[in-house]
């Protein structure tokens, strides 16, 4: 059974397109499963839909791509309503500089410089397929899509690109940062509360759903 959920994790990261798969001990009408699960879940976690899937399906290992969205509230004054859902950056941000730098991260690279905790096994090479950003009023929405992400990779990329956007780091520094393969060469780690797992792509399904504050900017 595949279940698509939305909610908030203990680490402060949000999800609007998380997918979970499990094997049930007994039969249950799939058309009633969403309603039944939501009746038992806490208020900060909801099931969007449920479906029967092939026995070998894995929510984690069958995925082809993952898409994350990161929200930045770019205003001199913090937003009380978005305090838990967007990173407050009060200084001006140059999105053209940010986009130029992000372009240097597209493709297959060793992202060791942007990895928080190295994997116990396996390479640190990933293929980033898209990094886009746009502004909707005072909200800046960044979208990152890749075949997979390392530990804190999205938040480290966002922190680095924001430092480029506010002029603290050169646009041209992104190449040497990648090549250094050292976490100390990249920028700060953007906080967890601005991050959303927005979608997971499978051969016949995409769970993408934009975070509510970002609807107008997607």
**Residue 96 annotated among the catalytic residues of the structure:** no
Choice among 10, 25, 43, 204 that is catalytic: 10
- 125-136 and 45-51 strand pairing: unpaired
Say whether 204 sits in a helix, a strand or coil.
Answer: coil
Residue 171, φ and ψ in degrees, nearest 5: -60, -40
Pairing of strands 2-8, 14-21: antiparallel
Give the up-direction half-sphere exposure of residue 148: CA atoms within 13 A in the CB hemisphere.
15
Helices 153-165/95-103 angle, 10° precision: 130
Strands (E), the chain: 2-8, 14-21, 45-51, 65-73, 87-88, 107-110, 125-136, 139-146, 195-202, 205-206
Strand partners, 7: 15, 45
Tell me the torsion sign for CA atoms 154, 156, 158, 160: negative
Residue 38 CA to residue 206 CA, distance in Å, equals 21
φ/ψ (deg, to 5) at 93: -120, 130
Active site residues: 10
């Amino acid at each position: 059974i595949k279940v698509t959920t939305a909610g908030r994790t203990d680490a402060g990261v949000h999800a609007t397109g998380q997918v979970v798969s499990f094997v049930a001990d007994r039969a249950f009408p799939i058309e009633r499963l969403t309603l039944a699960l939501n009746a038992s879940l806490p208020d900060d976690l909801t099931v969007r839909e449920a479906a029967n899937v092939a026995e070998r399906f894995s929510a984690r290992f069958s995925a082809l791509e993952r898409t994350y969205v990161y929200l930045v509230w770019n205003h001199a004054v913090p937003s009380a309503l978005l305090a838990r859902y967007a990173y407050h950056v009060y200084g001006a941000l140059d999105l053209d500089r940010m986009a130029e730098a992000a372009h240097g991260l597209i493709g297959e690279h060793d992202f060791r410089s942007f990895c928080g905790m190295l994997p116990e096994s396996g390479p640190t090479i990933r293929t980033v397929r898209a990094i886009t950003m746009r502004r909707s009023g005072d909200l800046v929405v960044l979208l990152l899509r890749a075949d997979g992400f390392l530990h804190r990779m999205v938040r480290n990329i966002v922190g680095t690109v924001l430092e480029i956007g506010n002029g603290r780091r050169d646009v041209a520094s992104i190449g040497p940062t990648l090549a250094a393969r050292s976490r100390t060469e990249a920028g700060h780690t953007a906080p967890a509360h601005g991050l959303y797992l927005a979608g997971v792509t499978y051969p016949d399904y995409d769970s993408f759903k934009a975070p509510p504050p970002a609807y107008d900017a997607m």
